[in-house]
């Protein structure tokens, strides 16, 4: 199997795993009924942030040993007493506050065995609403150092935990689970699974163990249907993130320097030069003066494509309008190719007459409906266009698509669905002002880890993707089509690279 085929199969597999429901593709995860989960970053990370602080300060290996000791002592103590009022030995910051006193005491006693832990966990006292605040402060003491330094230490810890699959996040998720496993409250299926937990991260292939730990933790830490617990846990998490936001500033990245990578002037003139040659070719191949919808449209597509490509390039290929230019070129290409492929002289008439109908409709609206006349259209120009082929009164107005077939289907008939997929779908998001396009152009991610990767406005729009090669490619493809119907026209546009040095 070739690489290209493999890539295609893989892609089909990903899209194919979605289930079509009406006009929606349902993602594999959402096909599982009744899925509701707490998010690691939003809800669970604030409870296990103490683990991240510990890893950062005393090192991963030693932090894991502290987690293991807590797991053994708190887990064992849990099952030594019958009729406990708490149902699980939870060691998240909120979960701890729900434990019986003896379990809380054991947790703190084991945790603070190593004297470096005090320094490591000091940032926790920045939170006045910390569950068990009094207990924590007994061990951590009051704030004596610079608060902003504590926020920085906290930010460093949060940054390694934000990704729910990172090694450190997995360690913390394991730390949450290990007392529960040791308490016997979680029945694992096999001896092997038990060892994977208790001997983490030294037993078995960790590529298999880590996902297993994360999946188990996701189930248990979701609160196991305990609504009251969930509500209070969420309250702490929200409190944590709100405090982080209130006390630390946003960091927006500096926009990349916008540079044009090709010789703009020479490339533009390579496009402009085609205009004259195309005009000559038009005259050379023209025999009649009567209305010729096929000829006019075919050459018209090419001249129009030259215009659009020039404008896209003039924006250095990087403005949003360069993407809109791509979308227009893709539509011209598909329409042109479709008209050629269908091989019906009548269809060229339909195409032309549809356009005249649109001019008539616009004229009538200017005349009868719109009270404020838009500045960009002149009434008399529209009237002339609408009346050009036949007197407007005889012109029908078609309200649907001109060919009674949408552009996607048209591209399938014309055997250029690849152009539709590559240049029409995504650029349409920009044309329609859909969310991801807006997100892409005007927002950036704040890189203060304490702000949960939220979005902030950029200092200027993002103009980084160069569309120049695509503009030239589509333009040349449209010129290729002309060759199929009115040969021979060989001139093509090209990207001219900058002189080096
Ligand atoms: Zn921010």
- 455, containing H or E segment: strand 455-457
pLDDT(32) > 80: no
Q: How far is the CA of 121 from the centre of ligand 1 (A)?
A: 23
Which pLDDT score is estimated for 132? 97
Which pLDDT score is estimated for 377? 86
Packing angle, helices 206-221 and 167-182, rounded to 10: 60
Q: How far is the CA of 252 from the centre of ligand 1 (A)?
A: 7
pLDDT(416) > 80: yes
Which pLDDT score is estimated for 11? 47
Mean pLDDT, rounded, for 244-257: 87
Report for 54-63, 187-196, 358-367: range of highest mean pLDDT: 54-63
Q: How far is the CA of 117 from the centre of ligand 1 (A)?
A: 29
Q: How far is the CA of 446 from the centre of ligand 1 (A)?
A: 5
Mean pLDDT, rounded, for 443-459: 93
Q: Which of 39-48, 62-71, 221-230 is predicted with the least confidence, judged by mean pLDDT?
A: 221-230
pLDDT(150) > 60: yes
Percent of the chain, pLDDT > 70? 94
Mean pLDDT, rounded, for 12-29: 71
pLDDT(53) > 90: yes
pLDDT interval class at 1 (50, 70, 90): very low
Judge whether 221 and 38 are in contact, CB under 8 Å. yes
Which pLDDT score is estimated for 471? 97
pLDDT(388) > 70: yes
Domain boundaries, the chain: 40-247, 264-485
Mean pLDDT, rounded, for 151-161: 96
Which pLDDT score is estimated for 337? 98
Which pLDDT score is estimated for 135? 96
pLDDT(144) > 80: no
Mean pLDDT, rounded, for 489-496: 94
DSSP reduced 3-state for 443: strand
Mean pLDDT, rounded, for 422-443: 95
- Residue 215 buriedness (CB in 10 A; 0-12 / 13-18 / 19+): exposed
Could you tell me which residues are beta bridge partners of residue 24?
21
Report for 289-293, 295-299, 356-360: range of highest mean pLDDT: 295-299
Tell me which of 439 and 287 has the higher pLDDT.
439
Mean pLDDT, rounded, for 463-482: 95
Q: How far is the CA of 57 from the centre of ligand 1 (A)?
A: 25
User: Which contacts qualify for 96-105: CB closer than 8 Å, 24 or more apart?
Assistant: 96/131, 96/132, 97/131, 97/132, 98/229, 102/77, 103/74, 103/77, 103/78, 104/132, 104/135
Mean of all residue pLDDT scores within the chain: 90
User: Which contacts qualify for 188-192: CB closer than 8 Å, 24 or more apart?
Assistant: none
Q: How far is the CA of 429 from the centre of ligand 1 (A)?
A: 26
Q: How far is the CA of 240 from the centre of ligand 1 (A)?
A: 15
Q: How far is the CA of 170 from the centre of ligand 1 (A)?
A: 25
pTM (predicted TM-score): 0.78
Q: How far is the CA of 162 from the centre of ligand 1 (A)?
A: 14
Q: How far is the CA of 457 from the centre of ligand 1 (A)?
A: 10
Judge whether 352 and 293 are in contact, CB under 8 Å. yes
């Amino acid at each position: 199997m070739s690489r290209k085929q493999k890539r295609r199969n893989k892609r089909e597999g990903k899209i194919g795993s979605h289930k079509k429901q009406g006009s929606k593709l349902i993602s594999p995860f959402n096909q599982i009924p009744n899925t509701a989960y707490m998010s690691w970053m939003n809800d669970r990370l604030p409870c296990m942030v103490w683990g991240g602080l510990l890893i950062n300060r005393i090192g991963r290996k030693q932090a894991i040993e502290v987690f293991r000791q807590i797991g053994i002592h708190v887990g064992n103590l849990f099952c030594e007493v019958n009729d406990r009022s708490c149902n699980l030995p939870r060691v998240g910051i909120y979960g701890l506050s729900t434990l019986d006193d003896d379990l809380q005491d054991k947790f703190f006693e084991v945790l603070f065995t190593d004297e470096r832990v005090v320094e490591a966990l000091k940032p926790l006292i920045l939170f006045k609403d910390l569950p068990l605040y009094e207990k924590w402060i007994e061990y951590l003491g009051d704030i004596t150092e610079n608060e902003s330094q504590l926020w920085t230490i906290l930010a460093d810890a949060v940054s390694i935990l934000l990704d729910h699959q990172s090694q450190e996040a997995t360690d913390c998720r394991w730390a949450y689970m290990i007392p529960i496993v040791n308490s016997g409250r979680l029945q694992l299926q096999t001896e092997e699974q038990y060892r994977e937990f208790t001997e983490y991260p030294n037993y078995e292939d960790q590529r298999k163990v880590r996902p297993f730990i994360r999946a188990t933790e996701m189930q248990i830490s979701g609160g196991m249907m305990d609504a009251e617990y969930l509500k209070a846990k969420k309250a702490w998490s929200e409190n944590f993130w709100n405090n982080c936001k209130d006390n630390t500033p946003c960091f927006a990245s500096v926009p990349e320097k916008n540079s044009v990578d090709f010789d703009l002037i020479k490339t533009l003139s390579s496009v402009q030069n085609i205009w004259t040659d195309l005009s000559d070719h038009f005259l050379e191949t023209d025999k009649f003066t009567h209305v010729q919808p096929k000829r006019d449209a075919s050459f018209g597509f090419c001249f129009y494509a030259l215009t659009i490509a020039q404008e896209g390039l003039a924006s250095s290929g990087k403005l949003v309008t360069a993407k809109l230019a791509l979308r227009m070129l893709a539509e011209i290409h598909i329409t042109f190719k479709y008209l050629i492929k269908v091989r019906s002289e009548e269809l060229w008439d339909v195409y032309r007459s549809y356009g005249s109908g649109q001019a008539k409709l616009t004229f009538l609206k200017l005349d009868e409906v719109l009270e404020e006349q838009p500045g960009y259209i002149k009434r008399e120009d529209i009237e002339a266009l609408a009346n050009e082929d036949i007197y407007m009164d005889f012109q029908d107005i078609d309200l649907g698509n001109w060919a009674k077939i949408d552009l996607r289907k048209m591209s399938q008939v014309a055997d250029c669905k690849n152009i539709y997929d590559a240049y029409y779908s995504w650029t349409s998001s920009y044309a329609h002002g859909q969310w991801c396009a807006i997100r892409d152009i005007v927002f950036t991610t704040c890189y203060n880890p304490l702000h949960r990767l939220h979005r902030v406005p950029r200092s200027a729009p993002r103009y980084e993707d160069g569309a120049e090669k695509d503009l030239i490619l589509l333009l040349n493809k449209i010129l290729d089509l002309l060759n199929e119907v009115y040969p021979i026209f060989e001139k093509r546009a090209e990207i001219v690279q900058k002189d080096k040095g």
